[in-house]
Homo-oligomer: A and B are copies of this chain.
Amino acid sequence: MTYPNDFFILANQLIEAGRFIDSKGWVPATSGNFSARLSDDSIAITVSGTHKGCLQQSDIMLIDSDAQSLDGKKPSAEAVLHTTLYKRYPDINAILHPHSMTATLASQIFKTEVVLQDYELLKALPGIDTHEARIVVPIFANDQNIPRLAEQVDRYIDQHGAIHAYIIAGHGLYTWGDSVLHALRLLETLDFLLSCELHLYGVKKI
């Protein structure tokens, strides 16, 4: 197929994001998946089964807004988690899902949600202008049935209002932004804050 022009620009941004994310150790083996929305609402997304630290352009494919392949390649099994978020949030254009140890441990320790407050860095999240904000990152049970998992996320947002990110237990973080670079900054922010919470939990529990 002939890819739209912005596909190549976004694919390169996802490749660069993958290199950065891998340099932090957040995508061991072939874990993680990333996507970016094109101007025609189709979505560039990583194919299944590649190492995210050394993505090639051929490792990025195109799906439609219902997660159907547009170029015959096989998308990540979790593509529906991406399309569900794009449908709900018209303003976001990129979603990043790494498997960092921080998010994995946070889910095993905090079980249902992580509460973040009193951090200056919270101001890096959209719409937050003081460290006195209170941000909740919900944790959902892992599920190999992805449409069911997507519904669980959707229902949570219906009930609790907008969120900046969520964690799938024993699995990893999903976050999103208006561009790949923006989502990457939110990812740095959230991983830093989750890591702070894990350290403090150890000390407080002791």
Which residue numbers of A lie inside 8 Å of B, CB to CB?
Answer: 28-31, 51, 99, 101, 104-105, 108-109, 118-121, 124, 129-131, 142, 144, 168-172, 185-186, 188-189, 191-192, 195-196, 198-203, 205-206
Is B108 touching A28 in the complex (CB atoms < 8 A)? no
CA distance A100 to B121 in the complex (A): 11
Given contacts A51-B185, A131-B144, A196-B104, contact A118 B30 (CB under 8 A): no
Q: By the criterion CB–CB under 8 Å, are A171 and B120 in contact?
A: yes
Report the minimal beta-carbon distance from A10 to chain B, rounded to whole angstroms: 20
CB nearest neighbor in B for A27:
B188
**Shortest distance from the beta carbon of A116 to any chain B beta carbon, whole Å:** 10
Q: Which residues of B contact A108 (CB under 8 A)?
A: 118, 196, 200
Q: CB < 8 Å: which of B120, B131, B171, B202 contacts A131?
A: B171
- Measured between beta carbons, the chain B residues less than 8 angstroms from A144 are 129-131
> Given A109-B200, A202-B203, A203-B205, list of 4 further CB < 8 A pairs?
A30-B124, A99-B192, A202-B206, A206-B206
A119 engages B192 (CB within 8 Å): no
What are 24 A-B residue pairs whose CB atoms fall within 8 Å in the complex? Answer: A28-B124, A28-B191, A28-B192, A29-B121, A29-B185, A29-B186, A30-B185, A31-B121, A51-B185, A101-B192, A101-B195, A101-B196, A101-B199, A104-B121, A105-B196, A109-B200, A119-B171, A120-B142, A120-B168, A120-B170, A121-B171, A131-B144, A131-B171, A202-B202
Distance of A65 from chain B, by nearest CB (Å) = 25
A171: which B residues are within 8 A, CB to CB? 119-121, 131
User: Please, which residues of chain B bring their CB within 8 A of the CB of A205?
Assistant: 203, 206
